Amino acid sequence: MIDFANLASEFGTPLYVYDATEVRRRIHLARAVFEGLDAHIFFAVKANTNPALLSLIKMEGVGADVVGPGELEAAVRAQIRDLLLNGNGKTPAIAGAFVDAGGSYVSMDTPDELSLWHDFPVKRLLRVNPNIVAGGHKHIATGGNVHKFGVAPERIPEAIGYLDGLHVHIGSQILDPEPFREAYTAGVNLAQSYKLKLLDIGGGWGIRYGHDERDLDLDEFRERVVLPVLRPFDGTLLVELGRWIIASAGSLLLQVISVKKSGKTFVVVDAGMNALIRPALYDAWHDVEPIRPRGPRCLCDVVGPVCETGDVLAHDRELALPDPGDILRIANTGAYGFSMASNYNGTMRPAEVLVDGANTTLIRRRETLDDFFATCSTQFRTSHATQRNDSDSHSSGEPHESN
């Protein structure tokens, strides 16, 4: 059992806490699904970019699926060599960095991307869009033909001489095996008809956030999808899992600033959509509980300190009414929590700690004002007379100190 109270007092809040045991458990469960198949698991780094977590994941023999340069660098710092590059807006810069890092698999979003990869010794996959819509929210469904990702299967011939495989990823937070079955059936058929030996089946495995949900049932997934559809595929499978591996391992600890009664009861905590944007962006549910429940149960909104009406972490939630100073734990926040956090309202992003049995490590210190301003300058060039400093020593066009 993790002692959240102790962690909050030692490291302060807002604080992300990750449980290494849960990460390992999840990876083992995922691996068991593909037992007997030639399948290669990658962690979708977009879910969590902390290099220490990537090191942990690497120790379990999992590679890294990266998109941006920071994700790539995080994987490199964790000494992951088994790399897969994704994304629908790749630049020559990211292509070069990926090759320099020794990356081997590239999912091209369109045949036009071939020009980026002609000279590089990578395995090229083409992302095809099977026109299947699935996923926990319209913003995270990707497999419809109106979504921006991939191309219709009719475009495979444009790239065929240069292709090693295909990629099918239809969305995220999918709890039902059926859309996977349909998408992979299409993917396997296409790969076989073009004699391609690599199939990237993406990620998207859903987890239980609310009480009325349950994790994607992996026994059912193996029975209905893996054994009948994927096992007959004569080639290598690539799998890109983000949420499944890291979501349930993460908790966000927040401190109650005030409890206010107006039209509703508001529990105001020390971070909201700036630390965890999922509820505001997707109406996502996260369980919230005081780590030491004691007050009477009461219906309330748990809200952050950010100047947005949408800065709500939990709507109309019944919880043991906390007092100012109490600590709340927001559950299942390991995926798309810190990685989507912002500095909105000039707030500093949370610290992160990793708990591995009896050991706790601060794996990202809290941001400081110096971090926040590290990329800024108060100097600027101006031709506007009123922006000039009082001294005549500067002519227009010279850098000036602004007020």
26 touching ligand LLP, by CB under 6 A: no
240 touching ligand LLP, by CB under 6 A: yes
Only segment of 118-126, 175-183, 196-204, 393-401 that touches ligand LLP (CB under 6 A): 196-204
Check if the beta carbon of residue 400 is closer than 8 Å to that of residue 382: yes
86 touching ligand LLP, by CB under 6 A: yes
Using CB under 6 A, pick the residue from 18, 34, 244, 338 that binds ligand LLP: 244
204 touching ligand LLP, by CB under 6 A: yes
Q: Report the relative pairing of strands 351-356 and 250-261 from DSSP bridges.
A: unpaired
Is the CA virtual torsion 79, 82, 87, 90 positive or negative?
positive
177 touching ligand LLP, by CB under 6 A: no
Comparing C-alpha atoms, which of 36, 46, 37 is closest to residue 201? 37
Using CB under 6 A, pick the residue from 143, 165, 242, 334 that binds ligand LLP: 242
Candidate list 298, 300, 307, 376, residue with the active-site label = 307
300 is catalytic: no
Only segment of 1-9, 41-49, 73-81, 382-390 that touches ligand LLP (CB under 6 A): 41-49
> In whole angstroms, how close is the CB of 230 to ligand LLP at the nearest point?
16
> In whole angstroms, how close is the CB of 87 to ligand LLP at the nearest point?
8
With tokens 């902390």, the residue in question is: 50
Using CB under 6 A, pick the residue from 47, 94, 201, 330 that binds ligand LLP: 47
- Residue (63 or 242) nearer to ligand LLP, CB: 242
Give the contact letters, 258-287, x = binds to ligand LLP (CB under 6 A), - = no: --------------------x---x-----
- Residue (11 or 244) nearer to ligand LLP, CB: 244
Using CB under 6 A, pick the residue from 26, 58, 123, 243 that binds ligand LLP: 243
- List Cβ<8 Å contacts ≥24 apart for 211-218: 213/175, 214/175, 215/175, 215/244, 216/174, 216/175, 216/176, 216/177, 216/244, 217/177, 218/29, 218/30, 218/32, 218/33
What are the angstrom distances between the C-alpha of 280 and each of 310, 312, 318, 376?
6, 6, 19, 28
302 touching ligand LLP, by CB under 6 A: no
Sequence-distant (≥ 6) Cβ neighbours of residue 255 within 8 angstroms = 8, 13, 14, 269, 270, 325, 326, 327, 328
Check if the beta carbon of residue 165 is closer than 8 Å to that of residue 217: no
Give the contact letters, 125-164, x = binds to ligand LLP (CB under 6 A), - = no: ---------------x------------------------
Amino acid at 342: S
Cα end-to-end distance, the chain, whole Å:
52
334 touching ligand LLP, by CB under 6 A: no
Check if the beta carbon of residue 4 is closer than 8 Å to that of residue 15: no
- Altogether, the residues listed in the chain come to a count of 403
Amino acid at 255: Q
What 3-state DSSP class applies to 24?
helix
* Size of interface with ligand LLP, in residues (CB under 6 A): 22
Q: What does the DSSP assignment read for 185-250?
A: HHHHHHHHHTT--EEE----B----STT-----HHHHIIIIIIIIITT--SEEEEEESHHHHTTTE
> In whole angstroms, how close is the CB of 20 to ligand LLP at the nearest point?
19
- Residue (140 or 354) nearer to ligand LLP, CB: 140
Only segment of 10-18, 42-50, 209-217, 362-370 that touches ligand LLP (CB under 6 A): 42-50
Distance of CA 345 to the CA centre of its chain: 22
Using CB under 6 A, pick the residue from 54, 336, 353, 364 that binds ligand LLP: 336
What 3-state DSSP class applies to 17?
strand
Binding site for ligand LLP (CB under 6 A): 44, 46-47, 65, 86, 140, 169, 172-173, 202-205, 240-244, 278, 282, 335-336
The residues assigned a catalytic role are 307
